[in-house]
Each structure stands twice: as structure tokens, then as C-alpha cells.
Amino acid sequence: MRSLRELIERVSGHAITSVESEGDAGLAEVLPFPFLAMVGQMEMKLSLLLCLVNPSVGGVLLVGPRGTGKTTAVRSLIDLLPQVPRSLCYYGCMPEDVESGGMDAVCPDCARKYAQGEPLSIMDRVRLVDLPLNARLEDVVGGLDERLVVHDRVRLKRGILAQADRNLLYVDEVNLLSGDLVNAILDAAAQGSYTVRRGPVSATYRSRFVLMGSMNPEEGKLRPQIMDRFGLRVVVRGLSGIADSDDCLEIYRRVHAYQQNPRQVVEQYTPETSLARDEIQTARNLLPRVTMPDSVARLGLNLIGDLHIDSLRAEITLFEAGRAYAALDGRLEVTPADLAEVAPMALRMRRSVFMAEYFAGQDKEETELHDVLAKTFIPGTPDTSLHIGG
Ligand SMILES: [Zn+2]
């Protein structure tokens, strides 16, 4: 990848110009730290961009201690998000539903609109939807809407998982999420939709989201089922992973400048940010035409086999991330170099510890077994001659 990667490397290397203090204007407005102003952390940045280009990559999990910029990086995506077609309807009906499943595949309102040639969807920017740790199950999947009960008709309100349809769903401290919320996410992710029933009312919502999570491994493990749901996995090492003391100083300068005057820092990066957003949209438009030759796919499968990874999702993620990488470089064919670039992100933390220990134990037994067999049956060894001599 040249253009976008070069842009990121170049801009990330610029020293920030000094800003004037804004004083305490009491501003509550949140301006995300610019993505391009983050120093280093190339793998983290790349993993996030690949997810924006290709939702089939399956999202990303950022693993690292506190204060390494994981949350900042995810929030900074807000200025880079591409456009997607989005339903105008409460139930998420789309024109392609009618095309594939007929008029019964959409709600009566949308069927009428479709028949009259009215649009069912518009182009809209992808959103970053937060799933806070303290959310209730009812907030996440949806529940009865009290305001609507008054009108004699009970209606369900959309939960966070429905709002996340065709968006990014971000869970910070995902390893601390309660079991029922994890299950709700896994169900929705597996089906791309989910159904809520409350008494006589039920509704099915689309929920095709890109899952993004961050976690501090010091605070607890992540359940294997949800771990497997994350396509890419990045280990974020923070300052200790940055050898260059000039970089450390530059990070300090930028964070300090941002705290003094977020608006001026954001403005310094605005032209490059909009350039990067265009590159991402272009790559996204190119993606459907990006293919992978069989020879390259075989390389990927061999790699997964040699690493003893036993997850179909590893394969999907590796190939889809390879396609996204090629698209970001403006190419229509995935090369071995593309796979090599994305493989660490797609394949790390894929091995089951249980299975690895099981196989290691089995290997030990096999070695002992063959040692004893060799001693017993190969002539000329001391043991054998002893037996023959006796
Ligand atoms: Zn509808």
C-alpha cells in the first residue's frame, strides 16, 4: 500500500506546530483527537482502516495496558468514516430485500413506498456506536417503548444492537462485559439480525455491525467465543514499544497541544484527514472487484495449517483483510505480500490454549513411545544385544 500508508507515515512524522491556549471556555463539545496525529502504532492504525474498507474482515480487538491510546484511536475514526446506504425505515427494510425476497420481505409501509417508486434508503455516513459496560440487556436488544404504549399500540424501541446495523459497534473493556450482553452480541453477530419478544409483540432487527473492542489483559480474560468473533487482533504496547525518544517527546507535545486547544490541533490535520477519508471511500468502492488468485489463497491456507490454527474465521479474516489491503493500494488482485502484511493481525491469538496443551502432551507421549520402540526393536543397541545375549 503506497498512498494512504505513505500519507499516514508522512503526516504522523510531522512535528505539530504550537497552539494558543483556548483558556477554559467550558466547552463540553467532544472533538476526537485526529487519527493522523497519532505517532507510530502502524499496526493498530492499519487494522482499523482495514475494517472501514471491508466490514467482512470481522472487526478488531485492541489488547494492551491502560493509556496506550486504544480508545483514542477508535474514537478518532469518526472523521474517516465512509458512506453506506441506510434504510429510512424503523425496521431497517432495504430495496435489495424486495429484489431478493419480494414485497413480503419488507414492512407494509416500505412495500407501499417501493411500489410507488419512493426510496427506501439513503446514503449516510457509518457511525460509531458505543456499547457501555453498564448497559442493561433491554438497552442492548431493545424493549417496550413506554411513550408508544400511550397511543394504544404497543411498540418496541430499537436497542443498541439494532442501531449498530451497518455501523461500528465499539465495546471498551470488552473482557468485563456481562455474560448476557456477550451472548446477545454473539447471537446478533452470528445471524446478522435478532428478534425481540415482549408479550404479544415481537420484532426482528438487522444487526450487521463491525465489532471493535479494546481490553486490558491485566483486568481479566476474554471468553473464547467472543474472542473468536474479532477478525483482527492487535497488541498495543504504548510508549515502552516506541524506542525513539524523539517520538515519545512528539507524543507528549501533541497530547499537550490537544489538551490546550483541541480545535486548533484538529484544524492542523483537516486537509490530510479529508484526503484519507476519500482514499478509504475509494478503496471501499473498489473492494467488490478485488479478487485473490488460487495460488495466493493456497499460501494462506498453508500458513494457517502450519500454525495449527483451527478456526474457519481465521481463514475468512486473512483473505478479507488481504482484499481490503489490496483495495487500499488501489489494486484489483491480492498478492502474497498483501497476505504477509495482514497475517500477524489476522492470525495471532487464534490457537486454543487447551488444544495446544493437549497436543503438546500428546507429542511428549509419542516421543517416549518411539524412543522405547527404537530401543526394543533396532538391533545393535545395548538393550537389544543384552536381550539377545541373555
Ligand atoms: Zn420498512
Whole-number Å distance, alpha carbon 284 to ligand 1 midpoint, is 26
Whole-number Å distance, alpha carbon 300 to ligand 1 midpoint, is 41
pLDDT score for 202:
81
> Residue 247 — pLDDT band, cuts 50, 70, 90?
confident
Phi-psi region of 302 (alpha: psi -120 to 50; beta: other; left: phi over 0): alpha
Whole-number Å distance, alpha carbon 209 to ligand 1 midpoint, is 19
> Residue 390 — pLDDT band, cuts 50, 70, 90?
very low
173-220 tens-digit pLDDT: 999 999 999 999 999 999 999 998 887 778 888 899 999 999 999 999
> Residue 4 — pLDDT band, cuts 50, 70, 90?
confident
Whole-number Å distance, alpha carbon 84 to ligand 1 midpoint, is 18
290 within 8 A of 326, measured Cβ to Cβ: yes
**Mean pLDDT for all residues in the chain:** 87
Query: What residue type is assigned to position 384 of the chain?
Result: T
Q: Cell for 297?
A: 489463497
pLDDT score for 371:
92
* pTM of model > 0.85: no
Q: Is 313 a catalytic residue?
A: yes
| Residues 173, 179, 182, 187, Cα dihedral to 10° | 180
Whole-number Å distance, alpha carbon 79 to ligand 1 midpoint, is 30
3-state secondary structure of 280: helix
How many CB atoms are closer than 10 A to CB 181? 22
- Closest to 311 measured CA to CA, from 224, 210, 236: 224
- Could you tell me which residues are beta bridge partners of residue 333? 291
> Residue 23 — pLDDT band, cuts 50, 70, 90?
low
76 within 8 A of 38, measured Cβ to Cβ: yes
pLDDT score for 147:
62
329: Cβ contacts below 8 Å, ≥ 6 apart: 1, 2, 3, 338
DSSP β-ladder status, 210-215 and 60-63: parallel
Is the pLDDT score of 82 beyond 70? yes
Query: What residue type is assigned to position 216 of the chain?
Result: N
| Residues 171, 190, 157, 203, Cα dihedral to 10° | -170
Tell me how many degrees the CA angle 228-230-233 measures, rounded to the nearest 5: 105
Cα 234 from Cα 133, distance rounded (Å): 21
Provide the 8-state DSSP code for 151.
T
- Closest to 262 measured CA to CA, from 13, 33, 12: 33
Catalytic residue among 237, 313, 331, 348: 313
Across the beta sheet with 210-215, what order do the strands follow? Answer: 128-130, 168-172, 210-215, 60-63, 232-235
Cα-Cα end-to-end distance for the chain: 72
Residue identified by cell 525518544 is 245
Whole-number Å distance, alpha carbon 92 to ligand 1 midpoint, is 6
pLDDT score for 40:
85
Question: How confident is the model over 66-79, as a mean pLDDT?
Answer: 92
pLDDT score for 236:
92
Cα 120 from Cα 42, distance rounded (Å): 39
Question: How confident is the model over 236-248, as a mean pLDDT?
Answer: 74
Whole-number Å distance, alpha carbon 279 to ligand 1 midpoint, is 33
Whole-number Å distance, alpha carbon 129 to ligand 1 midpoint, is 22
Whole-number Å distance, alpha carbon 161 to ligand 1 midpoint, is 17
| Least confident among 22-26, 73-77, 102-106, 382-386 | 382-386
Helix (H) or strand (E) holding 205: strand 201-206
